[in-house]
Structure formats: C-alpha cells, structure tokens
Amino acid sequence: MDLSRYFGGGGPSSHRGLKAVIIGSGTAVPDPDRANASQAVIIDDEILLFDCGERTTVNLVKAGVNPVHFVDELFFTHLHRDHMSDYGYFVTTSWICGRRKPLKVFGPPGTKQMSDAMIYGAFKPEADFIKSYIRALPPHITNRPETDPPLEVQDVDPSFVHSTDRYTVIAGEVEHHQRCGMPSYAYRVECQYGVIAISGDTRPCKTMIDLARGADLLIHDAAFLDEIIEKRQMWSHSGPSGAGKVAREAGVKKLVLTHLGPYDSAPAAVEMASMFYGSRRGPHIWEEMLADAAKYYKGPVLLAADGLIIEVGD
C-alpha cells in the first residue's frame, strides 16, 4: 500500500478521482497478516475512514497518509472491538501530533459513550498527561497541540445521511448482532466519480442490497466459510456465497471480500481462532472463497488484503 503519490510531500497531489483502500482486512482474532477491520474511501484529496480496528493508525502512516492532516471524518459500522480498538490511539496520537481540525465521528447509538469512555476513561491518564505536557511547553513554542482533543462525536440513527459539496454518505441498519443489543450499520458513499458501498458485519439482507444498488464497488463481509456458516447456522455474518448473492442482487460492478479469518496465517493465530475458524486450511482456501462468490456473482471479485487499493472505474 503506497498512497504517497497522492498524499506525500506534506500535501495532496493534483490527482483526482475515487478509490477505496483496505486498511485492515481481518477479523476480531489476532492475525499478523491482517489488521482488524478498517477501510478508507478517498475522494480527490479527502479521506473518509470507516471503522478503526487494531493497526489502523499504523497502517495509514505506513501507506504514506498523515491522519493528522488528511482524515477528518470517521464512520463506525458498529462498536465491536475489532472495529474500534485503535480509536483511542488514533485520537490521542493525532491530538498530540498537532491535529487542528476536529475529527468528526459518526456511528450507531453508543458511539459517543464509547468515545467518552475511551478518551476520558481508559485513556484519561494519557489525556491528563497530554494536557499537562501542553501547559508545560515553553512560551516560544507556538505550534502546540490544542488544549483538548479536537473531536466532534455524534450518535446517528439508521436513516442518517451526511452530505457535503463533494459527497454524500448514506447509512442503513444491517443484520449482525441486533438480538444481542448491538446495532450495526452499512454505508453508501456517492460522489461525482461513482459509488462505493461498505457492509460492515452483516449476513445477506435487503438493506445491504438496497444500499449497494448499482454501486461501482461493494466491500462486503465474508468472515466465515460457507461450510462454517451452514454448520453453525450463523445469522450474524456472511460467507463468500452470501456476499456474491448480495453483489448479484444489487447489480454492483465489482466485489471485494473482506473481514477474512486467519485460515492460512501463523500457527499461533490459527490455533487461537480455531474454535471459530477450525484448523489450518492452507493457501488454497483463498481461491476456494473466490470461487464460492463467483458461483452467484459473475463480475470481478477481489480478495481483500491490508493495503489493497481499488481505483473505481478501473
């Protein structure tokens, strides 16, 4: 992943267009090959971040993106740890490294509570330290961090629509763990260059099909193999076949399977996740997943990987 040609040298280039970047392609279990869930939509020189799982900040910087300057809006699909575990680090690091423009954060009910608990609860000693550090800076240091974290956090409902002169973000509630009290959203991003839909975690459902209708790109949960979903009668995630069915019904132009388990990762990762994903599968599993999606969707199917850049319109 290298976005430096767009965001290197201290400022954006003249590159125009729409692209998606997989920041983290993994699941909730530790996987050295795949960070937790996160993806970015880039419209010209503006980055919209969706979810903030483990390694999000580091992977952005590794890609050549300074989140202090270029990430001003963050949308949470839901509040499971693998979608928000890097949030406290992202906020406090951006704060002490000089963020001026407030980070606007949107998410399902509970997002504001999570943010306050993270920044002013779990990270309170760090926040207090940063404030003391700022006060202790010598007077001649004028380029100092803000005295409080530059944040604007908002809980939104499933009818949420966020529009600027460049793009519109539309939310919808999908089917993940509502019966366990966890609302989950998917998002549709529309701009002059095209449409990208992001599922978050969901089983195949009508809301997701509607949000993805006619999209240039659908980034869809495929956390579990079809055989696991069938055996466990799962109602909270999709497999590659389910993602393929959504892509077909929505008539999307390209599908990316993401939120992928550690089927072929380090032995310790496979062992730790075995109660969910079973034993090690080997590299052939990825071709099998692509084939399962292709049974139902005849367009291009990509397997997500940390750092994958997808140019819309390619």
pLDDT digits (tens, 9 = 90+) for 262-292: 999 999 999 999 999 888 888 899 999 999 9
Share of the chain above pLDDT 90, in %: 83
Asked if the model's pLDDT at residue 181 lies above 80, the reply is no
Range 187-192 average pLDDT: 98
pLDDT digits (tens, 9 = 90+) for 10-59: 455 557 899 999 999 999 999 999 999 999 999 998 999 999 999 999 99
Decide which of 144 and 78 is more confident: 78
Angle at 306 between CA 247 and CA 126, to 5 degrees: 120
Res 15: pLDDT: 72
CATH number of the domain that 184 lies in? Answer: 3.60.15.10
Q: Is 313 left (phi over 0), alpha (psi -120 to 50) or beta?
A: left
Res 107: pLDDT: 98
Cβ-in-10-Å burial (0-12, 13-18, 19+) of 268 comes to: exposed
Asked if the model's pLDDT at residue 3 lies above 80, the reply is no
3-state SS, residue 112 = helix
Res 4: pLDDT: 73
Asked if the model's pLDDT at residue 294 lies above 80, the reply is yes
Res 281: pLDDT: 86
| Mean of per-residue pLDDT scores for the chain | 93
Res 314: pLDDT: 53
Categorize the per-residue pLDDT at 241 as very low, low, confident or very high, splitting at 50, 70 and 90: very high
Q: How many domains is the chain built from? A: 1
pTM of the model: 0.94
Q: Tally Cβ neighbours within 10 Å of residue 193.
A: 18
* Strand arrangement of the beta sheet that strand 301-303 belongs to: 161-163, 167-173, 185-191, 194-198, 217-221, 255-258, 301-303
Range 200-212 average pLDDT: 97
pLDDT digits (tens, 9 = 90+) for 123-137: 999 999 999 999 999
Res 282: pLDDT: 85
Structural domain boundaries enclosing 296? 4-311
